[in-house]
């Protein structure tokens, strides 16, 4: 089997479902990953396995494929293992928590919010504005423009991440359009699609991509990224302030609605 | 091998019976500056400007076999002993000046595993906290046998 290590994991699993089970036994959930464009040989380094575990995994996979373990080309990642994320990755992890607060509100929004009312349309426009300002400008200024750009953009993992970003932007546009056309079902559908996409995307970044990136970053790069991140935070302080304010407002509104069925102190207007 | 008596910082350890073939490789000096002692350095010296700075406890370079190649390389250095040195408030001010005036990029603090050495890391953390700028601090702890016990962003 020539170049088996260079085949997409998803294809290998499709042809040999047992490989998927073996990976799952090693806590590697490629079977559940919808894109899984990573190559078989990269699985070990991306998931930062210990050398003994990597060797065992290669042996098991090779046995199923009927090849020599060396042909799988699974290489252990280089660089020291750092148990704590670097300060730059910590900043991005924290921003994911903020984005997740909004994402966590989308099921309640989908259920309760009716774009036929002015106040609910305002709320939906607010959510769209939050995502564009906080996730797309504030967070991606650091993540895409600064962090990702240090790496070879031809690597599949970055292409997958950028594709996710594009798809998320598409869902946000769809939420906005459905809001304007007061199509409640379409609003709910795209909020839900955005929710699922973001939950999976953020997990991929927090659990796989960021730890992998962190292991490649030199101390010097951590320092320069950190300074740049602080500069971006200063330049976009207003976005951060407005986003936090919006989140608090919506969290309150939806919590109140949960009990009372509508936003407290407001009579929904229809027009 | 001896054991610690009372103060672990000065407790005796004798490993003279342990044999080691030694390692060949890059043994050239990675020091690119003088002076290095914290009382002697000027925190705004050219070699500190925008640099990745290493603040090492005196004993670290003796304990670590690969100090030059693995840790000093590419960094500007300051050394101090948090247990014995006098007037350590001067150190605090100098670290602050590294951050605010020399605008250093990162600060790496290397200390020995003995408890009194923690003082150097605490001082560095306090200095960065009190400074106007913020820089990442990384801490290494080195064992008496010369191994890296931990490497951590703090
Ligand atoms: Fe992302
Ligand atoms: Fe992200």
Give me the residue from A84, A85, A220 closest to B106, CB to CB. Answer: A220
* Cα separation values, B36 from A24, B48, B99, B102, Å: 52, 11, 17, 16
Q: How confident is the model at residue A38 (pLDDT cuts 50, 70, 90)?
A: low
Task: Quote the pLDDT of residue A265.
Answer: 32
Asked if A247 and B129 count as a contact pair (C-beta separation under 8 A), the reply is no
Asked if A86 and B154 count as a contact pair (C-beta separation under 8 A), the reply is no
Q: Do A87 and B74 count as a contact with CB atoms less than 8 A apart? A: no
pLDDT digits (tens, 9 = 90+) for A153-189: 899 899 999 999 999 999 999 999 999 999 999 999 9
pLDDT digits (tens, 9 = 90+) for A237-260: 999 999 999 999 999 988 877 654
Nearest Cα to Cα of residue B121 among B142, B147, B103, B144: B142
State yes or no: pLDDT of B80 exceeds 90: yes
Asked if B63 and B142 count as a contact pair (C-beta separation under 8 A), the reply is yes
B-facing residues of A in 230-269 (CB < 8 A) are 230
- A218 vs A61, residue with greater confidence: A218
Task: Quote the pLDDT of residue B66.
Answer: 93
State yes or no: pLDDT of A1 exceeds 60: no
Length of chain B measured in residues: 154
And the tokens for B19? 């044999």
And the tokens for A140? 């991606």
Looking at domain B42-153, its CATH architecture is 3-Layer(aba) Sandwich (3.40)
- A115 vs A32, residue with greater confidence: A115
Omega before B35 within 30 of 0, i.e. cis: yes
State yes or no: pLDDT of B69 exceeds 60: yes
What is the arrangement of strands in the sheet containing B76-80, beginning at the earlier edge strand?
A: B76-80, B52-57, B106-112, B137-142, B148-153
The full set of domains in chain A, from first to last, is: 4-71 (1.10.3910), 87-257 (1.20.120.520)
Distance between A70 CA and the closest CA of chain B, angstroms: 29
Q: Do B52 and A220 count as a contact with CB atoms less than 8 A apart? A: yes
pTM, entire model: 0.80
Q: How confident is the model at residue A263 (pLDDT cuts 50, 70, 90)?
A: very low
And the tokens for A123? 């709320």
* DSSP letter (8 states) at residue A105: H
- Residue A150, chain B, CB below 8 Å: the answer is no
Asked if B153 and B108 count as a contact pair (C-beta separation under 8 A), the reply is no
Distance between B23 CA and the closest CA of chain A, angstroms: 20
pLDDT digits (tens, 9 = 90+) for B100-113: 999 999 999 999 99
Q: How confident is the model at residue B128 (pLDDT cuts 50, 70, 90)?
A: very high
Query: Distance between CA B92 and CA B127 in Å, rounded?
Result: 5
State yes or no: pLDDT of A195 exceeds 90: yes
Task: Quote the pLDDT of residue B45.
Answer: 98
State yes or no: pLDDT of A127 exceeds 90: yes
Task: Quote the pLDDT of residue A52.
Answer: 78
Q: Hey, of A79, A215, A219, which one would you mutate to test binding to chain B, going by the most B CBs within 10 A of its CB? A: A219
Under DSSP, is residue A5 helix (H, G, I), strand (E, B) or coil? helix
**Percent over 90 (pLDDT), chain A:** 60
Residues 6 or more apart whose Cβ sits within 8 Å of residue B141: B111, B112, B113, B148, B149, B150
Query: Distance between CA B40 and CA B38 in Å, rounded?
Result: 5
Task: Quote the pLDDT of residue B138.
Answer: 98
ipTM: 0.88
pLDDT digits (tens, 9 = 90+) for A45-58: 666 677 778 788 88
Residue B103 sits at φ, ψ, to 5 deg, of 50, 55
And the tokens for B137? 């601090």
Average confidence score pLDDT of chain B: 92
Cross-strand bridge partners of residue B56: B79, B110
CA A186 to chain centre: 23
Under an 8 Å CB criterion, which residues of B touch A?
A: 52, 74, 104-106, 108, 134-136, 138, 151-153
Task: Quote the pLDDT of residue B24.
Answer: 66
């Amino acid at each position: 089997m020539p170049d088996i290590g260079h085949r997409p994991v998803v294809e290998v699993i499709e042809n040999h479902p047992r490989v998927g089970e073996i990976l799952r036994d090693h806590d590697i959930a490629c079977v559940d990953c919808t894109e899984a464009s990573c190559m078989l040989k990269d699985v070990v380094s991306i998931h930062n396995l210990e050398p003994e575990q990597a060797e065992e995994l290669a042996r098991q996979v090779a046995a199923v494929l009927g090849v020599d373990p060396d042909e799988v080309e699974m290489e252990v990642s280089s660089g020291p293992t750092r148990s704590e994320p670097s300060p730059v990755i910590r900043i991005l992890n924290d921003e994911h928590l903020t984005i997740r607060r909004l994402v966590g509100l989308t099921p309640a929004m989908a259920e309760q919010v009716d774009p036929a009312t002015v106040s609910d349309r305002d709320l939906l426009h607010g959510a769209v504005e939050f995502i564009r300002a906080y996730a797309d400008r504030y967070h991606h200024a650091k993540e895409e423009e600064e962090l990702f750009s240090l790496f070879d953009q031809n690597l599949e993992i970055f292409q997958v991440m950028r594709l996710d970003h594009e798809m998320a932007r598409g869902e946000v546009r769809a939420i906005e359009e459905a809001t304007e056309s007061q199509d409640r079902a379409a609003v709910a559908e795209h909020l839900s699609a955005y929710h699922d996409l973001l939950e999976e995307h953020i997990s991929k970044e927090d659990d796989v991509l960021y730890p992998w990136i962190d292991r490649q970053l030199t101390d010097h790069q951590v320092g320069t990224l950190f300074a740049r991140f602080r500069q971006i935070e200063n330049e976009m302080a207003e976005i951060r302030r407005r986003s936090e304010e919006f989140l608090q407002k919506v969290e309150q509104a939806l919590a109140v609605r949960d009990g009372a069925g509508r936003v407290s102190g407001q009579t929904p207007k229809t027009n | 091998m001896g054991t610690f008596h009372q103060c672990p910082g000065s407790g005796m350890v004798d490993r003279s019976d342990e044999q080691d073939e030694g390692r060949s490789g890059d043994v050239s000096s990675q020091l690119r500056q003088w002076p290095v002692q914290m009382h002697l350095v000027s925190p705004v010296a050219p070699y500190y400007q925008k640099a990745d700075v290493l603040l090492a406890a005196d004993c670290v370079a003796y304990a670590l076999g690969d100090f030059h190649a693995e840790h000093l390389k590419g960094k500007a250095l300051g050394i101090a002993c948090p247990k014995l040195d006098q007037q350590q408030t001067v150190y605090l001010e100098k670290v602050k000046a590294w951050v605010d005036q020399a605008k250093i990029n990162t600060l790496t603090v290397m200390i020995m595993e003995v408890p009194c050495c923690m003082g150097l890391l605490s001082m560095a953390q306090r200095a960065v906290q009190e400074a106007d700028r913020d820089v990442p601090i990384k801490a290494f702890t080195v064992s008496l046998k010369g191994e890296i016990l931990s490497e951590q962003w703090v």
